[in-house]
A and B are shown apart, each in its own frame.
Chain A
Amino acid sequence: MSGIGDIAVRLERPLPEDHSFGNVRPILHEVLHALERLADTGEPTTIDLRAMPFGPGEEQKLEEALGTGEIAIRLDALGESRIVECAFPGVWLITHYNSHGEIMARLIEIAEVPAIIRAESPDLRSGATALRQRLEEGARDDDTTDAAMPEPHNTTDETG
Chain B
Amino acid sequence: MLGNMPEKQTLGEVLEQQGVSRRGFMKFCATITSMMALPPSMVSAVAQSLESAKRPSVIWLPFQECTGCTESFTRSHSPTIEGLIFDSISLDYHHTLQAAAGHAAEDAKHQAMEANKGEYLLLVDGSIPIGNPGYSCIAGMSNEDQLMEAAEGAAAIVSIGTCAAYGGIPKANPNPTGAVAVRDLIKDKPIINVPGCPPIPMVITGVLTHFLTFGSLPELDHEGRPVAFFGQTIHDRCYRRTFYDRGLFAESFDDEGAKKGWCLYKLGCKAPTTYNACATVKWNQGTSFPIESGHPCLGCSEPDFWDKGGFYEPLSATAFGPTSALLAAGAAGAALGAASAYAARRKQKKAQESQT
Contacts and interface: CB of A to CB of B under 8 A. Distances in A.
Interface string B76-111: 001111101000000000000000000000000000
A58 B242 CA distance: 14
B40 A46 contact: yes
A122 B22 CA distance: 8
Nearest to A54: B239
Contacts of A78: 20, 24, 27-28, 80-81, 84
B316 to A, nearest CB: 23
A103 interface: yes
Interface stretch (A85-93, A94-102, A130-138, A148-156): A94-102
B261 A21 contact: yes
A103 B30 contact: no
Given A12-B259, A53-B237, A103-B285, A116 B27 contact: yes
A29 interface: no
B227 interface: no
B81 to A, nearest CB: 5
Nearest to A120: B22
B23 to A, nearest CB: 5
A77 B27 contact: yes
Contact of B40 (A48, A75, A102, A103): A48
A118 B80 CA distance: 22
Chain A CB within 10 Å, residue with most, of B24, B31, B41, B281 = B31
A102 B286 CA distance: 9
A102 B285 contact: yes
Given A21-B261, A53-B239, A105 B30 contact: yes
Contacts of B239: 21, 23, 53-55, 58
Nearest to B26: A116
Contacts of A116: 23, 26-27, 30
A120 B51 CA distance: 15
Contact of B242 (A21, A100, A104, A120): A21
A96 B26 CA distance: 11
A56 B241 CA distance: 14
A96 B242 contact: no
A76 B219 CA distance: 35
- Number of chain A interface residues as a range: 35 or more
Interface in A10-37: 12-13, 15, 19, 21-23
Contacts of A103: 285-286
Given A22-B242, A55-B261, A78-B80, A46 B41 contact: yes
A9 interface: no
Contact of A50 (B23, B27, B280, B288): B280
A102 B81 CA distance: 11
Contacts of A67: none
A79 B80 contact: yes
Given A102-B78, A103-B285, A55 B22 contact: no
B66 to A, nearest CB: 26
Contacts of B24: 77-78
Contact of A47 (B22, B28, B40): B40
Contacts of A81: 27
Contact of B286 (A47, A50, A107): A50
A105 B31 contact: yes
A100 to B, nearest CB: 6
A77 B24 CA distance: 5
A50 B278 CA distance: 11
Contacts of B238: 53
A102 B237 CA distance: 23
A58 B22 CA distance: 33
A50 B40 CA distance: 11
A51 interface: yes
Chain B CB within 10 Å, residue with most, of A21, A75, A78, A79 = A78
A123 B260 CA distance: 52
A52 B286 CA distance: 12
B240 interface: yes
A117 to B, nearest CB: 8
A105 B34 contact: yes
B79 A99 contact: yes
30 contacts: A15-B260, A19-B261, A21-B239, A21-B261, A46-B40, A50-B280, A50-B286, A51-B280, A52-B280, A53-B239, A53-B279, A75-B27, A77-B21, A79-B80, A96-B31, A96-B81, A98-B78, A98-B79, A98-B81, A99-B79, A100-B79, A102-B78, A103-B285, A104-B81, A107-B34, A115-B26, A116-B26, A116-B30, A120-B22, A123-B21
The 6 closest A-B pairs by CB, nearest first: A46-B40, A55-B239, A77-B24, A53-B237, A105-B31, A98-B80
